[in-house]
């Protein structure tokens, strides 16, 4: 006869897997690939100068707009990638809606190399530099919309977030992410007056987010619990029970039993090694020919 295990008897049959919810592994792998390609394409917009019209040094110095646009875009993509990495660390599962929102974010990230080339061209020629700055800022502002949508959707009712972050911490992050598009939009509107002033605002925003990301490493979401070796480990999941490490006699001593508890609920007695009786010494049988019992230790003649 087949008997159910205690786990099955207590918790019942396992629930069927929800096919609409997917692990974040493939989403993170695909996103990292797009970030890596987009940040690599930035350098391809910087062309090698020609020495026909002057010295090579003069040609390299004339590319300062391309260097500046490359630096801005590289740091911006890097900050977005770091925040995306932190966000995915708090999200334990995704569905099709999150996949679509993440795809829209990656579409905006892949468009940054083109806006970088437009900005560098406008600064190099001096014609349409304000238009180039406004166009560059609008690309960054629009890119912040799907980024915020991912966190707003994932943190709603805390249904896609892990136990590493509380609802209060999720609300703080939501308000923090919401400032991004408005700050980028403000720096973009400054470009209507001056392209240099607009880029200065973007530089300050990049510096602010870099300092904040580096400072957030000291206070990550969710408390950590030390294990028996003193290392920090993740807190247990909601509803999980933490069991003691090792047998009872090595942790907290014998467990006292309740005399009023039923027999099946009382703990088993702890048997220590020093209480075990010693095994009797093994005696060799006597030799059938001579009757000696220590023939096994005698040296051969």
Most confident of 13-22, 78-87, 274-283: 78-87
Angle at 199 between CA 195 and CA 201, to 5 degrees: 120
CA distance linking residue 34 with residue 40, whole number of Å:
10
Count CB-CB contacts under 10 A for residue 277.
Answer: 5
Over residues 41-91, the pLDDT tens digits come to 999 988 888 766 668 888 888 899 999 999 999 999 999 999 999 899 899
Distances in Å between the alpha carbon of 272 and those of 3, 12, 13, 91? 33, 37, 38, 46
3-state secondary structure the chain: CCCCCHHHHHHCCCCCCCCCCECCHHHHHHHHHHHHHHHHHHHHCCCCCCCCCCCHHHHHHCCHHHHHHHHHHHHHHHHHHHHHHHHHHHECCECHHHHHHHHHHHHHHHHHHHHHHHHHHHHHHCCCHHHHHHHHHHHHHHHHHHHHHHHHHHHHHHCCECCCCCHHHHHHHHHHHHHHHHHHHHHHHHCCCCHHHHHHHHHHHHHHHHHHHHHCCCCCCCCCEECCCCCEECCCCCCCCCCCCCCHHHHCCCCCCCCCCCHHHCCCCCCCHHHCCCCCCCCCCCCCCCCCCCHHHCCCC
Chain-centroid distance of CA 141 in Å reads: 24
pLDDT at 47: 87
Reported as half-sphere exposure (CB side, CA atoms, 13 A), residue 248 has a value of 10
pLDDT at 158: 84
Average confidence score pLDDT of the chain: 76
Token pair listed for 86: 């932190």
State the average pLDDT over residues 251-258: 48
pLDDT at 299: 47
CA distance linking residue 144 with residue 161, whole number of Å:
20
Over residues 194-213, the pLDDT tens digits come to 999 999 999 999 988 888 76
pLDDT at 59: 85
Token pair listed for 12: 């019942």
CA distance linking residue 89 with residue 80, whole number of Å:
14
pTM of the model: 0.65
Phi/psi at 40 (5° precision): -80, -35
């Amino acid at each position: 006869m087949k008997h159910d295990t205690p786990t099955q008897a207590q918790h019942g049959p396992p629930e069927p897997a929800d096919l609409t919810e997917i692990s974040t592994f493939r989403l993170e792998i695909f996103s990292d690939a797009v970030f890596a390609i987009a940040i690599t394409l930035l350098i391809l917009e910087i062309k090698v100068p020609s020495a026909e019209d002057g010295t090579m040094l003069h040609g390299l110095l004339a590319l300062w707009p391309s260097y500046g646009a490359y630096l801005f875009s590289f740091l911006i993509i890097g900050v977005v990638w770091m925040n995306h990495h932190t966000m995915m660390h708090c999200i334990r599962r995704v569905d099709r809606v999150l996949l679509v929102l993440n795809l829209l974010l990656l579409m905006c990230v892949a468009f940054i190399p083109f806006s970088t080339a437009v900005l560098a061209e406008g600064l190099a020629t001096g014609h349409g530099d304000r238009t180039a700055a406004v166009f560059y800022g609008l690309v960054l502002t629009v890119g912040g919309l799907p980024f915020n949508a991912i966190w707003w959707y994932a943190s709603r009712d805390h249904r896609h977030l892990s136990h590493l972050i509380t609802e209060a911490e999720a609300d703080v992050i939501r308000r923090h992410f919401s400032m991004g598009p408005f700050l980028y939009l403000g720096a973009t509107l400054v470009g209507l007056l001056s392209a240099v002033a607009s880029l200065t605002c973007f530089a300050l925003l990049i510096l602010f987010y870099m300092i904040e990301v580096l400072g957030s490493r000291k206070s990550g979401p969710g408390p950590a619990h030390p294990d028996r070796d003193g290392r920090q480990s993740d807190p247990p999941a909601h509803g999980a029970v933490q069991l003691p490490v090792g047998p009872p006699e090595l942790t907290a001593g014998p467990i006292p039993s309740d005399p009023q508890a039923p027999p099946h609920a009382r703990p088993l007695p702890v048997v220590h090694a020093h209480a075990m009786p010693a095994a009797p010494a093994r005696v060799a049988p006597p030799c059938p020919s001579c009757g000696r019992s220590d023939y096994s230790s005698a040296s051969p003649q």
